[in-house]
Chains A and B, each alone.
Chain A
Amino acid sequence: MRSAAFLFAYSLKRVRTLILTTGLLLAGLQLVLIFVAGSIQSSGGFDQLAALIPPFARQLLGPSVVTFMSFSGIVCLGYFELAVMGALIALAVTLATVPASEVEIGIMDLILARPLARHWIITRTVVLTTLVSAFMLALMVAGTWVGLELFAPAGIAWPSSKLINSLAINLGMLTLCWGGVAMAIGAASSRRSVAGGAAGLLALATFLLDYVARLWQPAEKIAWLSPFRYYNPFDLITGNTLPYRNLLVLGSIALAGFAAAYALFARRDISH
């Protein structure tokens, strides 16, 4: 147990710069978005933007687009903006593939030559990925509230804390889901680039599947396979409550990934 605690502390120390940099960037982005949203709101720009959307486009995109063209909508954008989602998923994949990197470098030989059970390698990675994902979301939420305090125009309605928390929780589960998938791949791999690349490609493919399915009906039949299907920020922004089914599906994928990682890493040969 002492060795495992030492391994965890050491692993955390190694990624601390990455975590802090990414966290501060994501929190900073919330501040920027709120500053921009406040500026647009003060200049009456949202009404003009909404008026520019032709009626057929409103009908096609639904009421969410109008809701999105608001102060609250832009504030929430930080939770489903492609770069933010990409950064969070990339961070989770990076952390989840630490074992593959350790095998590749050769340090895993020295670690496992000590009296340390293999499952601690995966437990360390699960804990690290989960804690870091939660920390990232916590920093983003903190950034949102700090930004609202600093830059929200007077008298404007803020998004509710329930909405922000729902977005953060759903996005956090999506991040963890990809962490689980990457961990399962990484546990069987001896190359981080292979594991990370495979997880990244899978994420991109399923993201595109979800995206295409929203525009093209036939793809809808298989869209349930995409984890991105279980993160609907626009539904939340329009006032719907967070569906627990989404959390359940994403959480189950994450857990299945973690379980697969334990099983695969326990049985594999460590060779680089």
Chain B
Amino acid sequence: MAPISIRGLTKRYGNVLAVNNLSLEAIQGEILGFLGLNGAGKTTTIRILLDLLRPSSGNAFILGHDCQRDGLQARANIGYLPGEMGIYSDLTGREVLDLLAGLSGHVINVSRRRELQERLEFPESDLRRRLREYSTGMKRKLGLIQAFQSDPLLLILDEPTEGLDPLMQESFYKLLVDAKQHGRTVFMSSHVLSEVERVCDRIALVRKGELVLLSSMEELHKLAARTVRVLFSEDVPSPRSWKLKVEGPLGPLLQTIATLPVHDIEIEEPKLEDVILKYYRGGHQ
């Protein structure tokens, strides 16, 4: 049973198509990056999964439960981090965590919460402070704790590292890896390509509401062109230095230059950014 299954999902606001016939599946135990420019339909898709928005057509399923018809079951085992943590600013951090755990119907797992606090460097004294005194980063950390605290089977995270400093981003990545090792599935939207490249197993890329790419990171690297610089010891070929973009295996190139007086060869790893930016711009067509 797929943790997330989206079939022909469309969301229309009047004449505007926010999501257009989107279909994708998450695999259990993977970290699926959900990428796209602002307004591409990432948050709309996430909100449909949570039944905050109703689709114009199509279906979305979480752990086999229809997000709209069987929403309670669908949301019974998820941790959600919204893009913006909208919450009453007069509440303390602890009150927020207790409230959200209580609404989940889960018994508060104190040791789990403490572990998350430690890993995200969020001391008890901060939990006693009111949210109006929190910085953006502290709110984000609190959001992560509330999403992870019930150890859900599926984590839906909307721009999770927005506002986190580099050290906290590291801690967050470790949390993701741990969650994955425990068989949890993570569905996260992100703008940060380096983060996606580092933690995600697969990416789903949306543009103007449509899925334009669904690929594993390995496959994605194959799509990217490598830059090969060849320096010759003599002026036999002209010019003496070549800079080549190579898509696919390097074998044919190496065979070609094998007979030439190669002085040095430098292969630059493909950049994920190049591929993704190409898809963002629609250049893949």
A3 to B85, CA, bound (A): 20
Report the bound CA distance from A109 to B81 in whole Å: 10
Chain B hits for A115, CB < 8 A: 71-73, 75-76, 104-105
For A53, what are the chain B residues with a Cβ–Cβ distance below 8 Å?
Answer: none
Measured between C-beta atoms, what is the minimum distance from B95 to chain A in Å? Answer: 9
Residue B86 at the A interface, CB < 8 A? yes
How many inter-chain residue pairs (CB < 8 Å) link A and B? 77
Contact in complex: A269, B87 (CB < 8 Å) = no
Residue of A10, A109, A269 most packed against chain B (CB within 10 A): A109
A271's partner among B47, B51, B146 (CB-CB below 8 A) is: B47
Q: Does B80 contact A (CB under 8 A)?
A: yes
Interface contact A113-B87, CB-CB below 8 Å: no
- Given A270-B47, A271-B52, verify A106-B99 contact (CB < 8 Å): no
Is there a chain A Cβ closer than 8 Å to B82's Cβ?
yes
Contact B53–A3 (Cβ < 8 Å): no
Using a CB-CB cutoff of 8 Å, which residues 74-117 of chain B contact chain A? 75-76, 78, 80, 82, 84-88, 99-100, 102-105
Is B54 at the interface (CB under 8 A from chain A)? yes
Give chain A residues whose Cβ lies under 8 Å from the Cβ of B104: 3, 114-115
**Which residues does chain A contribute within 8 Å of B47, judged by CB atoms?**
109, 270-271
Q: Are A113 and B86 in contact (CB under 8 A)?
A: no
B52 and A106 within 8 A (CB): no
What 1/0 flags go to A254-272 for Cβ under 8 Å of B? 0000000000000101111
B188 within 8 A of A: no
Q: Evaluate whether A107 and B75 lie within 8 angstroms (CB atoms) in the complex, with A115-B105, A269-B54 already known.
A: no
B82 proximity list for chain A (CB < 8 A)? 106, 109-110, 113
Min distance, Cβ B189 to any Cβ of chain A, angstroms: 14
Contacts of B73 on A, CB cut-off 8 Å?
A: 115
Q: How far is the CB of A101 from chain B (nearest CB, A)?
A: 9
State the Cβ distance, A125 to closest chain B Cβ, in Å: 16
B50 CB–A CB distance under 8 Å: yes
From A10, A106, A116, A267, contact of B85 by CB (8 A): A106
Give the distance to chain B from A263, nearest Cβ to Cβ, in Å.
Answer: 14
Specify the chain A residue showing the minimal Cβ separation from B104.
A114
A interface residues, Cβ below 8 angstroms from B: 2-3, 6-7, 10, 14, 105-117, 267, 269-272
* Beta-carbon contact of B72 and A110 below 8 Å: no
CA distance A107 to B85 in the complex (A): 8
Take A6-B102, A115-B76 as given contacts and tell me if A109 and B86 are in contact as well, using a CB distance cutoff of 8 Å: yes
Q: Report A121 CB to chain B, min CB distance, Å.
A: 11
Query: Can you list 21 A-B contacts (CB < 8 A)?
Result: A3-B103, A3-B104, A105-B87, A107-B87, A107-B88, A109-B47, A109-B82, A110-B80, A110-B87, A113-B50, A114-B75, A114-B103, A115-B75, A115-B76, A116-B72, A117-B71, A269-B52, A269-B53, A270-B47, A270-B53, A271-B52
Q: Per-residue CB proximity of B25-48 to A under 8 Å, as 1/0? A: 000000000000000000000010
Max chain B C-beta neighbours (<10 A), residue from A3, A113, A115, A117? A113
Take A115-B73, A117-B72 as given contacts and tell me if A272 and B86 are in contact as well, using a CB distance cutoff of 8 Å: yes
Chain B nearest CB from A106 CB (Å) reads: 2
Residues of chain B with a CB closer than 8 A to A6's CB: 99, 102-103, 105
Q: Once bound together, how far apart are the Cα atoms of A28 and B246, in whole Å?
A: 84
**Nearest chain B residue, comparing its CB with the CB of A1:** B105
Report whether A106 and B86 are in contact in the complex, using a CB–CB cutoff of 8 Å.
yes
A267 to B99, CA, bound (A): 25
State the CA gap A106–B50 with chains docked (Å).
Answer: 14
Nearest A-chain residue to B52, judged by Cβ: A270
Report chain A residues within 8 Å CB of B78: 113
A116 CA to B50 CA, complexed, in Å: 11
Complex CA gap A270/B44 in Å reads 11
Residues of A within 8 A of B146 (CB): 110
Q: Give the residue among B85, B87, B103 with the most A Cβ atoms within 10 A.
A: B103
Name the contact of A106 in the complex, choosing from B87, B102, B103 (C-beta under 8 A): B87
* Residue pair A107, B72 in contact (C-beta under 8 Å): no
Interchain CB contact under 8 A, A113 and B52: yes
- Give the residue of A10, A106, A116 whose beta carbon is less than 8 angstroms from that of B84: A106
